[in-house]
Amino acid sequence: MAENSYTVLIPCKNGEKTIQQTLQSIFSQTVPPKKIIVVDDASIDSTPSILKKYRGVLAIRLEHNLPRDWARVPKLVNLMLQHVPERTGFIMISGDDCLYPRDYVELLLNEFDKDPQLLIASGSHMEQKIVQGASPHGAGRMFRYSFLRRVLPFPESIGWESWVLFKALWLGGKAERLSNVSYKHLKPYSSSSVWTFGQSMYELGYPLWFVLGRFLKNILFEPNKLQQFTMLGGYVEYWLERRRRLDIADFVSMYQNHRIRRLISKLP
């Protein structure tokens, strides 16, 4: 049935060390995907030859000399979405370096079945502290396709992953990370990717005072201090340049202000 059918989208660049493990873990799911689509973003390693081994994968090869750019990822996702079969119920976006337990998708679909308001969900990284109800991770994230069709295309911006979360909230839906579902990343976050988190907060409309407060809290309670400075640096860079913000920025600013006021009202 279309309701629980899903298509997997995988942006990939130089994934020869991990893409096979990712694909095998998806093919091994207790609920198999309707289709797997991979965009090979001009890989210069053996990724193209690896993808040719998989008959059940639609591999789209791009040729260019552009350097790695995180803002290109939503462009790749938008390209893959053009090849999603009709009557697909859900879209799952995966990194090219993720390992999923066999029941990963089944558990996510069960949560969607329980709650019609749930529009986006992911499991939790095995490497991170598990927090029920926190924002879904980027990889391993599943969407109701009926919701996605209302908001597509993704903006070709650093903040695209969080943009779609706030779109779900704006429409009155839910976006959650589930504590009873987990998966593993094979590659660690790089300092450049953490820098882009800060840039995306600016594009999304996070108020400066909110970002500074979050920075101070994390400096006090999080073990990786350098990561917090890196994230703040990304935000300040875009703030000084007065970069253009996304169309959801006013809602995000209002949403974060409301969160803080609600927190303050609960103080003794």
User: For the whole prediction, is pTM greater than 0.85?
Assistant: yes
> Tens of pLDDT along 55-79?
889 999 999 988 777 788 999 999 9
Q: What is the reported pLDDT for 194?
A: 85
> Tens of pLDDT along 129-159?
555 556 787 789 999 999 999 999 999 998 9
> Tens of pLDDT along 187-241?
876 666 788 999 999 999 999 999 999 899 999 988 889 989 999 999 999 999 9
Beta strands in the chain (DSSP E): 6-12, 35-41, 57-62, 90-93, 98-99, 118-125, 141-144, 174-185
Are 162 and 192 spatial neighbours (Cβ–Cβ below 8 Å)? Answer: no
Domain boundaries, the chain: 2-185, 191-265
Determine the average pLDDT of the residues in 161-173.
96
Superfamily of domain 2-185: Spore Coat Polysaccharide Biosynthesis Protein SpsA; Chain A (3.90.550.10)
Are 96 and 19 spatial neighbours (Cβ–Cβ below 8 Å)? Answer: yes
